[in-house]
Amino acid sequence: MPVSGLPPYDPNNIFARILRGEIPCKKVHEDAHTLAFHDIAPQAPVHVLVIPKGAYVSMADFTARAPAEEQAAFLRAVGEVARQLGLEAAGYRVLSNMGQHGGQEVPHLHVHIFGGRPLGKMLAKE
């Protein structure tokens, strides 16, 4: 079921182009339903993005429309990447920006994984 208030999926967003192989990425993990790659402008020593391969804009969109198998694979991929990058012992942050107030720049659902240093408070003060 479509989510009200959601912009239509833009098939030319940068992550859609990465998924089509039109632009390169530094891949960390791939399975049938997900891709993970290093952020092009890292904000921490480790900064990886995990995306579903399907055309979803936000978490609300994804959980409304994606088959259970794709949803499970996405969550599993986040944990797999954290394990693969050895982040568990020191800790890390998982963050997802959605829409205008969330500051989402790329309108394809993605989760950021940050690590490699103490990350400070969750939100910057206004």
Q: Which two tokens stand for residue 32?
A: 């049938």
Site for ligand AMP contains 70 (CB under 6 A): no
Which residue, 105 or 126, is less far from ligand AMP as judged by CB?
A: 105
Selecting among 29, 47, 110, 112, the annotated active-site residue is 110
The residue from 105, 120, 123, 125 that contacts ligand AMP (CB under 6 A) is: 105
Q: How much is the CA Rg of the chain, to the nearest whole Å? A: 14
Amino acid at 37: F
Site for ligand AMP contains 126 (CB under 6 A): no
Interstrand relation of 34-38 and 111-115 (parallel, antiparallel or unpaired):
unpaired
Q: Is 108 a catalytic residue?
A: no
Give the whole-angstrom CA distance, residue 125 versus residue 115.
21
The residue from 9, 13, 29, 39 that contacts ligand AMP (CB under 6 A) is: 39
